[in-house]
Amino acid sequence: MLLETELRGATAVVCLSNPPVNALSSAMRGAMFDQLSELDSRKDVAGIVVAGSGRCFCGGADIREFDRPARHDEPLVPALINAIERSNKPVIAAIHGVALGGGCELALGCHYRIAAADARLGLPEIKLGLMPGAGGTQRLPRLVGLEAALQMILSGDAVSAARALDLGLVDQVVEADLIDAAVAYAEARAGGGETPRRLSSLDVPPLKDVDSVIEAASARFVARARGLIAPGHCLESIENSLSMPFESALARERELFIECRESEQSKAQRHLFFVEREAAKVPGVSKKTPVVEVRRAAVVGCGTMGVGIAVCFADAGIPVTVHDASKAALDTGFERMRAIYQTAVTKSRLSKREMEARLSHVGRAEDLAALADADIVIEAIVEEMDAKRALFRTLDALCKPETILATNTSSLNVDAIAAATKRPDRVIGTHFFSPAHVMKLMENVRADATSLETIACVMRFSRKLNKVGVLVAVCDGFVGNRMYHNYTRQAAFLLEEGALPQQVDQVIYDFGFPMGPFAVGDLAGLDVSWRIRKRRAATRPSEERYSPIADRLCERGRFGQKSGAGWYRYQPGGRKPEPDPAVDALIVARSEEMGLERRTIDEKEIIERCVYVLINEGARILEEGIVSRPGDIDVIWRHGYGFPVHRGGPMFYADHIGLKKIRDALLCYYQRDGDATLEPAPMIEELVKKNAGFYSR
């Protein structure tokens, strides 16, 4: 049953019951339309309360239906909401949990809104490459004013009940029983005999500086959107609320919404929404799997990563103790932590009080014994196997038997680290990405002996840390860095053959990445990967193509931004990369040394060599079972490496391009260059034969 309706005196309470989030599926819309029409015509009903059962009021339109052929579409969400607004009886939305997207628009179609103190309201459609398509761009500005509406719709961020009250988005926030309060509100409105407040009949509140407000929003959200269509469509539709009659603006909103919904961009963004949720589901792990609750955490190592990880715990309100052997390192780490929070305070993202509260969650310890009671210890020390094994041996002897021992290694074998302990079932990799307190990805690495309980615990607390956890198996570089390695290798080869760093970076930026590989290298520090390359030099097959240009930069002390020069040069204290003739000369000299005649390399080849090689390695990772789903790779690349959101991740992008086209291009480069990473993976060959894709295997 999609609706549960009860009569409380003369007020009908209609409760949406469509788990998990009461989405407005076509069946739900039909049921609501019929039920509300019936209640509207009943003499014994004076007012109506619309509420949600379960965890929230309503999560919006049913996103899954957007990808299905429209068969039972009527009534559309806007028609349903218009019908509710037309009711002559006061209709009150009683909001708990979230009212998002179409859910928020449903609330805006009601005449009044009452929220529980923990409620959140928002129009997040833009995050799915969509725009509010059921009156949100018209009713919200009429209710909260242009400026607040622009902010909410273009950022897609939800607001708290308290903020919603300030904005006038809700009429009341209640701590006590929500339904009781909403029924009382309905009775008072019905008793007063007043005309229900229909937002469609109001004007947008007048504002002095309309043009500059619109310009500012456009500069902030549309100009920076780099080719995404939804922000511009949202803005156009919100502007219409100022100049067009409600009905015409609503019709235009619908047209713009459909353009967004049908776009490849939104399909890619919706795909990411679902695979992100899928990634949290681990075969074999269920709600019944016993999980250790992480109440106290510890981090070993107070360097950049250790500090970032500690901040994640503090942000989540989990007490964390940070250990480092030297007091000086702890002091420096704590200064860095304070600086991170101070920046958030300066940018008004955090209050000073909140900053102190978060810092109070962090303890420091020079003695490892202080970590014995932690539920999880995350190691973030130097990337050296012997050091890590020695530490794990000590922690194993020291910590309580249930403690999970996790390593933040980005490349070392977690099986070997686990083997240093007597609790390999409680050892796992938790690979955070730098800066750890910002990047959303956690690659959780299961070793051979890692138990399902340990996996379940770490996947669950990834979410508590507000991260997207993806489970991967052990292999060199795990998923992300293994693929990234091939991507940067191809980028370096392109330099040897005729390109320059600024050219490759520009093409990759235009493709949609936040930065190209060389700018990223300079930001991360070229010495980090140099150290890894030196360690691997002894085992690198002699016949494998290897570009030494990055090593040569490091030999000259060019470590990237931190040393004022890397692939680019930087003004003192500056972060803006400037092409450097000295680097160009180094690259040209390398081409000469190889006897290569430099050639013009076009955009197509740069994309194909860099991005198709990612896809190829992704296919090998799937073949080897390092992850079980292509979506896991897409999530890793979206949240760990900034793969353009509107392309949906490398594997989704591959299906969009067509695997045959990708296979043919790879084969062509492989036959020309002979580099093994360009040889089409057997899985790609097989899928091409079947005329299938990664998502239609």
From 38-46, 81-89, 93-101, 479-487, span contacting ligand 3H9 (CB under 6 A): 93-101
Site string for ligand 3H9, 5-24 (x = CB under 6 A): ---------------xx-x-
Q: Provide the 3-class DSSP secondary structure of residue 557.
A: coil
Kindly tell me the sign of the dihedral angle through the C-alpha atoms of 460, 462, 467, 472: negative
**Touching ligand 3H9, residues 112-131 (CB under 6 A):** 124-125, 128, 130
- Residue closer to ligand 3H9, measured from CB, 138 or 454: 138
CA atoms lying within 13 Å on the CB side of residue 142: 24
Among the listed residues 646, 554, 657, 544, the one whose alpha carbon sits nearest the alpha carbon of residue 608: 657
The rounded distance, in Å, linking the Cα atoms of 297 and 317 is: 11
Instruction: State the pairing for strand pair 112-116/91-95.
Output: parallel
Give the nearest distance from C-beta 115 to ligand 3H9 in angstroms: 15
Q: Which one among 59, 333, 644, 650 touches ligand 3H9, defined by CB under 6 A?
A: 59
77 is an interface residue for ligand 3H9 by CB under 6 A: yes
Helix, strand, coil percent values for the chain (each to nearest 5)? 55, 10, 35
- Residue closer to ligand 3H9, measured from CB, 274 or 628: 274
60 is an interface residue for ligand 3H9 by CB under 6 A: yes
The rounded distance, in Å, linking the Cα atoms of 377 and 322 is: 9
CA-angle at 511, arms to 508 and 516, nearest 5° = 20
**Touching ligand 3H9, residues 311-370 (CB under 6 A):** none
Among the listed residues 349, 685, 313, the one whose alpha carbon sits nearest the alpha carbon of residue 462: 313
Give the nearest distance from C-beta 631 to ligand 3H9 in angstroms: 12
- Residue closer to ligand 3H9, measured from CB, 121 or 622: 121
Q: CA dihedral in degrees (639, 389, 627, 273; nearest 10)?
A: -20
- Residue closer to ligand 3H9, measured from CB, 42 or 281: 281
Q: Residue 639 — φ and ψ, nearest 5°?
A: -90, -15
Give the nearest distance from C-beta 248 to ligand 3H9 in angstroms: 18
- Residue recorded with tokens 């899985």: 683
232 is an interface residue for ligand 3H9 by CB under 6 A: no
CA 509 to chain centre: 19
Give the nearest distance from C-beta 134 to ligand 3H9 in angstroms: 4
Among the listed residues 682, 687, 678, the one whose alpha carbon sits nearest the alpha carbon of residue 660: 687
52 is an interface residue for ligand 3H9 by CB under 6 A: no
- Residue closer to ligand 3H9, measured from CB, 21 or 619: 21
501 is an interface residue for ligand 3H9 by CB under 6 A: no
Q: CA dihedral in degrees (520, 304, 314, 449; nearest 10)?
A: 90
Q: Radius of gyration over alpha carbons of the chain, in Å?
A: 28
Instruction: State the pairing for strand pair 11-16/3-8.
Output: antiparallel
Give the residue closest to ligand 3H9 by C-beta. 101
CA 663 to chain centre: 30
Cβ atoms of 197 and 111 within 8 Å: the answer is yes
Give the nearest distance from C-beta 60 to ligand 3H9 in angstroms: 3
Site string for ligand 3H9, 277-316 (x = CB under 6 A): x---------------------------------------
Number of residues that bind ligand 3H9 (CB under 6 A): 25
Q: Provide the 3-class DSSP secondary structure of residue 455.
A: helix
* DSSP, res 471: E
**Touching ligand 3H9, residues 127-166 (CB under 6 A):** 128, 130, 132-134, 136
Q: Per residue, what are the HEC states of 121-163?
A: EECHHHHHCCCCCCCHHHHHHHHHCHHHHHHHHHHCCCEEHHH
From 97-105, 106-114, 341-349, 505-513, span contacting ligand 3H9 (CB under 6 A): 97-105
Site string for ligand 3H9, 598-617 (x = CB under 6 A): --------------------
- Residue closer to ligand 3H9, measured from CB, 104 or 418: 104
The rounded distance, in Å, linking the Cα atoms of 113 and 107 is: 7
Give the nearest distance from C-beta 291 to ligand 3H9 in angstroms: 17
The rounded distance, in Å, linking the Cα atoms of 179 and 190 is: 16
Give the nearest distance from C-beta 128 to ligand 3H9 in angstroms: 5
Cβ atoms of 195 and 146 within 8 Å: the answer is no
- Residue closer to ligand 3H9, measured from CB, 302 or 316: 316
102 is an interface residue for ligand 3H9 by CB under 6 A: yes
- Residue closer to ligand 3H9, measured from CB, 250 or 300: 250
Q: Which one among 31, 62, 502, 616 touches ligand 3H9, defined by CB under 6 A?
A: 62
- Residue closer to ligand 3H9, measured from CB, 134 or 654: 134
Give the nearest distance from C-beta 155 to ligand 3H9 in angstroms: 13
Q: Which of 85, 125, 253, 497 is catalytic?
A: 125
Is there a catalytic annotation at residue 105? yes
From 59-67, 174-182, 513-521, 636-644, span contacting ligand 3H9 (CB under 6 A): 59-67
Q: Let me know if 475 is exposed, middle or buried by CB neighbors in 10 A (0-12, 13-18, 19+).
A: middle
The rounded distance, in Å, linking the Cα atoms of 84 and 117 is: 25
From 40-48, 54-62, 229-237, 322-330, span contacting ligand 3H9 (CB under 6 A): 54-62
Give the nearest distance from C-beta 648 to ligand 3H9 in angstroms: 16
61 is an interface residue for ligand 3H9 by CB under 6 A: yes
- Residue closer to ligand 3H9, measured from CB, 21 or 377: 21
Is there a catalytic annotation at residue 496? no
Give the nearest distance from C-beta 641 to ligand 3H9 in angstroms: 23
In terms of C-beta distances under 8 Å and separation of at least 24 residues, what long-range contacts does 2-9 make, across chains too?
Answer: 2/27, 2/28, 2/31, 2/32, 3/28, 3/31, 3/32, 3/35, 4/53, 5/35, 5/39, 7/44, 7/45, 8/179, 8/183, 9/183, 9/187
Count of C-beta atoms within a 10 Å radius of residue 85:
20
Give the nearest distance from C-beta 153 to ligand 3H9 in angstroms: 10
Q: Which of 6, 74, 85, 105 is catalytic?
A: 105
Q: Which one among 51, 100, 495, 621 touches ligand 3H9, defined by CB under 6 A?
A: 100
The rounded distance, in Å, linking the Cα atoms of 173 and 107 is: 14
- Residue closer to ligand 3H9, measured from CB, 223 or 274: 274
The rounded distance, in Å, linking the Cα atoms of 499 and 476 is: 29
Give the nearest distance from C-beta 132 to ligand 3H9 in angstroms: 4
63 is an interface residue for ligand 3H9 by CB under 6 A: yes
101 is an interface residue for ligand 3H9 by CB under 6 A: yes
- Residue closer to ligand 3H9, measured from CB, 273 or 671: 273
CA 560 to chain centre: 27
Give the nearest distance from C-beta 109 to ligand 3H9 in angstroms: 12
In sequence order, the 6+-apart residues with CB closer than 8 A to the CB of 554 are: 526, 527, 530
- Residue closer to ligand 3H9, measured from CB, 25 or 434: 25
User: Among all residues, which ones are annotated catalytic?
Assistant: 105, 125
User: Which positions lie near ligand 3H9, rule CB under 6 A?
Assistant: 20-21, 23, 59-64, 77, 98, 100-102, 105, 124-125, 128, 130, 132-134, 136, 274, 277
